[in-house]
Structure 1
Amino acid sequence: MSKYYVSTINHKQRLLSPNKQTGGVLIIAIFIIVVLSLLAASMLNLQQTSAKQGIYDVYATRASFAAYSANEVAMLTVFKNKKNTEEASICLGEMEKVPVVLPQKISGFANCQAYYTCQLTDSKVGHVYTLVSAAFCADKEMKIYREVTTKVMR
């Protein structure tokens, strides 16, 4: 046998020796810990984003319902005057904001405000009322705005 062959065998035996393999498991363990911690951090971030989206959806729904409630109040105001005698007071030509008092006892309207505007237009068939109802619900970090437009002919 050649010297080269003998030295290669000895070198392989030294590499396979338990004394030479210390520290390899430590590197793998550190790698696994780092990867798992990065995975946990990304999952936590994903959960926080999902929670914020859920809160945003709740406030958007509240604002939509408040705007629809303001729209119903506006239509009630338009239709309760059956004789058309007070059209100027019901619906001014200018878009004046009329605040709507939302029941604060109902938790769905908490931190929400609503108003409507009304504009009267005459047409060949009658009066056309353009009702624009808007509402916004606010929190410390966000303010959500929703608007509903309705055209009513009378």
Structure 2
Amino acid sequence: MSYSKQRGSALIVSVFIITVMAGFAAAMIRIDWSGQEMTSREVFATRAWFAAHSGNEYVLSKLFPLGQKASDPDACSQGGSSDSKTYSVDASLFQCQKVTVVCTRFKYGSDSQSAYKYQLESSATCGNGKFATTRTQETWAKDLP
């Protein structure tokens, strides 16, 4: 083979290598972006879980105040015969939009020794747009008759 017939083959090889490397770079960027999206979702999900947990803890502290032997059944009622109350808890500490806790009370036991059971259902939403994540936790507590 003569030198004149081989001219331009290096150009074709280099264009091919550049194209293959560009494909690899695009794939790596896509994988990296996907990993960052997953990490963002996990962070918001963890924040929402802890915010929901804190909401339940807040209402439990209202139900069972320190220094009292019994619960405060009015903490789970709107007044009258309503056996449910909704709390909105500040979620700015977790950088979340809202934390809502629904407290429902149920009477149990005989009339002479009646007590209450409480169901707390806390829901927290963190993030926005396609990264918005909501977590819900349920907690049960009861008085001892």
Q: When you count strand as a share of all residues, which structure comes out higher?
A: 2
The alpha-carbon deviation at position 141 of structure 1 amounts to 4.2
Q: When you count helix as a share of all residues, which structure comes out higher?
A: 1
Aligned AA for 2:133? I
Contact kept in structure 1, 2:47 and 2:96, CA below 8 Å: no
Unaligned ranges ≥5, structure 2: none
Pairs within 5 Å for 1:20-31 = 20-31=5-16
The CA distance in 2 between the partners of 1:42 and 1:83, in whole Å, is 62
The alpha-carbon deviation at position 97 of structure 1 amounts to 2.6
Aligned AA for 1:65? F
Q: Residue 137 of structure 2 corresponds to which residue in structure 1?
A: 148
Deviations 1:50-95 (A, max 9, x none): 11111111111111111111010111111127555x52x3223555
Q: Residue 89 of structure 2 corresponds to which residue in structure 1?
A: 100
Contact kept in structure 2, 1:131 and 1:151, CA below 8 Å: yes
Contact kept in structure 2, 1:66 and 1:112, CA below 8 Å: no
Matched residue pairs, number?
A: 133
Aligned counterpart for 2:50 among listed residues 44, 65, 72: 65
Q: Residue 134 of structure 1 corresponds to which residue in structure 2?
A: 123
Q: 1:40 to 1:94 in 2, by over 3 A?
A: farther
SS in 2 for 1:22: coil
SS in 2 for 1:97: strand
From the CA coordinates, give the structure whose radius of gyration is larger.
1
Provide the TM-score with structure 1 as the length reference: 0.75
The alpha-carbon deviation at position 123 of structure 1 amounts to 3.0
SS in 2 for 1:115: strand
Aligned counterpart for 1:46 among listed residues 31, 34, 46: 31
Provide the TM-score with structure 2 as the length reference: 0.79
